[in-house]
C-alpha cells in the first residue's frame, strides 16, 4: 500500500498526496524537510508539515508573483527576494532582460542545496546567473540592516508560523518600504483567503498603514488547497495597479517571456477580487473590479 503525505497547515481540513519515492527526509537547522515524488505533481518539497512547491504547478505561483510586479513597474533594475529557497522566483525574475541584479535572502542554506539537487527544474540554473546574489541570512534582519534599495521586493515566505512568522509583521513591512525606490512595489505571499481569512485581513491592515495603494491579486495554484491564492500588493503609485491588458502586452512581448500561466490579460484580471475577499477586507460595497 502506498504512503500518503498529509499536510497539517489547516486545523479543520487537510489534503493528502500519494508519495512515491522519498528523496530526502530530515530536519535542517531550522525546519523539518521532506522531498518526495508524486504521481500527479512530480517532485514535491514540504517544510514543517506544509507543502511548499511542486514541479507540476510551481509555474503558476512563480510567474504571477514575479511577472505582475516587474511588468507593472516597467523599469525594474534591482529586485530583492526574501525566502524562495527553491529558486523558482529567482529564475522568473532573471527572465526579464532589464533586471541587472537580484538579491535573494534565504534563511536555510540546506533548502537551497536540496532544491538544486532534487528539484533542479524549478530553478533551472538561476543560481549560476552572474546577476544573482544569494545571501544566507535572516530576511527580516537583512532588510532592517542593509543600505541597498530595490525597485521590487518579493516576499516568497512560508505561512505565518515558524521561521516565516516575522515576515508578516508591520515592522518588517515598514523596513521593506524604506528599502524601496520611489514608486517601488512590495509583493507578498498571503495564503488562501477562503481558509486563511485572518492572514489576509491582518496583512491588509498592516500594509494600509504604510502604503498609499494596497490590494491583492489572485491565482489558483492547485497544490495550495482551498481555492484562490492571494498575493499582497503595496506601493505608493496607484497607477501601477491599473494597467490594461493592451498597456501590459508590449512590455510582456518586449521582455520575450515564455510563460505557462501568466498572460497580459490574466495580469489585468487578477486584481479583480471575488466578493468574499472584498468582504474579508471590509470592502464589500465595491464591484470587485480593480479599476
The C-alpha cell 497547515 sits at 9
Q: How far apart are CA 179 and CA 19, in angstroms?
A: 42
Distance of CA 35 to the CA centre of its chain: 20
Q: Among the options 156, 175, 202, 213, which is catalytic?
A: 156
Nearest to 235 by CA among 9, 74, 110: 74
Measure Cα distances from 43 to 96, 121, 194 in Å: 26, 10, 26
Farthest CA pair distance, the chain? 57
Whether 202 is catalytic: no
How deeply is 215 buried, as exposed, middle or buried, from its count of CB atoms within 10 A (0-12, 13-18, 19+)? Answer: buried
Sequence-distant (6+) residues with CB within 8 A of 282 are none
109's grid cell:
542554506
Q: Report the catalytic residues.
A: 156
Amino acid at each position: 500500500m502506498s504512503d500518503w503525505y498529509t499536510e497539517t497547515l489547516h486545523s479543520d481540513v487537510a489534503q493528502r498526496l500519494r508519495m512515491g519515492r522519498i528523496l530526502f527526509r530530515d530536519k535542517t537547522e531550522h525546519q523539518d524537510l521532506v522531498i518526495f515524488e508524486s504521481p500527479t505533481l512530480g517532485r514535491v518539497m514540504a517544510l514543517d508539515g506544509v507543502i511548499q512547491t511542486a514541479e507540476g504547478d510551481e509555474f503558476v505561483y512563480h510567474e504571477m508573483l514575479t511577472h505582475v510586479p516587474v511588468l507593472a513597474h516597467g523599469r525594474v533594475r534591482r529586485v530583492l527576494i526574501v525566502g524562495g529557497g527553491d529558486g523558482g522566483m529567482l529564475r522568473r525574475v532573471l527572465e526579464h532582460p532589464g533586471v541587472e541584479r537580484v538579491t535573494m535572502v534565504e534563511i536555510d542554506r540546506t533548502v537551497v542545496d536540496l532544491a538544486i539537487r532534487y528539484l533542479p527544474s524549478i530553478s533551472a540554473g538561476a543560481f549560476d546567473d552572474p546577476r544573482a546574489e544569494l545571501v544566507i541570512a535572516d530576511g527580516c534582519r537583512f532588510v532592517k540592516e542593509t543600505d541597498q534599495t530595490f525597485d521590487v521586493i518579493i516576499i516568497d515566505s512560508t505561512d505565518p508560523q515558524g521561521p516565516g512568522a516575522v515576515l508578516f509583521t508591520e515592522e518588517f513591512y515598514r523596513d521593506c518600504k524604506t528599502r524601496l525606490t520611489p514608486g517601488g512595489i512590495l509583493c507578498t505571499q498571503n495564503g488562501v483567503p477562503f481558509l486563511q481569512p485572518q492572514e489576509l485581513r491582518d496583512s491588509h491592515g498592516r500594509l494600509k498603514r504604510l502604503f498609499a495603494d494596497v490590494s491583492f491579486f489572485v491565482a489558483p495554484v492547485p497544490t495550495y488547497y482551498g481555492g484562490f491564492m492571494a498575493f499582497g500588493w503595496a506601493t505608493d503609485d496607484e497607477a501601477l495597479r491599473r494597467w490594461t491588458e493592451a498597456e501590459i502586452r508590449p512590455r510582456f512581448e518586449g521582455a520575450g517571456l515564455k510563460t505557462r500561466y501568466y498572460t497580459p490579460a490574466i495580469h489585468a484580471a487578477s486584481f479583480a477580487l471575488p466578493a468574499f475577499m472584498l468582504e474579508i477586507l471590509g470592502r464589500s460595497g465595491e464591484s470587485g473590479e480593480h479599476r
